[in-house]
Each structure stands twice: as structure tokens, then as C-alpha cells.
Amino acid sequence: MQYFVVMIDYGRRGREAIVDPEITRREVISRVASGEYKNISFIHEIADSAVDDITAEILAEAALPDISATEVDLQASRFDHARDLRKHETV
């Protein structure tokens, strides 16, 4: 039997271990990449009676490509900044 344990750290609210024997490695990678799993403390793979820490491997496989600042929609950032400034104006 093989399954994965994903430990999520919620800071002051504690930690949660997500253990689902039906989830595959591919699904764990998918959930990390999509942002469903955040603030991961560790990911362990349990196979038979052996435990392996595969945190670095999963995070590397799930890594999203780096997007440089020139590729980001800078106009949206300017609109957000202008909206924030309007919120703090006195009427």
C-alpha cells in the first residue's frame, strides 16, 4: 500500500495532516501547483513500512514558471493602486 501525507501549517491555528490513500502522486503535484495546498511543512510518501520525505521533489515538480515583471499586466496594477489611493482620500 502506498499513500501520501501532506502536512499543512496554519501558523497559530495549528497544523493539519491530509492523508488520503486514494490520492496519487500526480494529484498531490496538481494540488500543490494549483495552490490548494499552501504553507506545506512536509510531504511524506509511505510505501509498505518505509517513509520517505519527498517535499523537495514534489515542490520542484509543481513549481510554476517564473513570470518576469515585464510580462505581468502592469495596467491592472496601476488601476489597483489608483483605487487604493481613492479609498484613503478625505471627502
Chain segment 1-54, per-residue pLDDT in tens: 899 999 999 888 999 999 989 999 999 999 999 989 988 999 999 998 899 999
Q: Where are the domains of the chain?
A: 2-87
The pTM assigned to this predicted structure is 0.66
The answer to whether the beta carbons of residues 58 and 31 sit under 8 Å apart is no
Quote the CA–CA distance of 12 and 69 in Å, as a whole number.
33
Chain segment 49-61, per-residue pLDDT in tens: 899 999 999 999 8
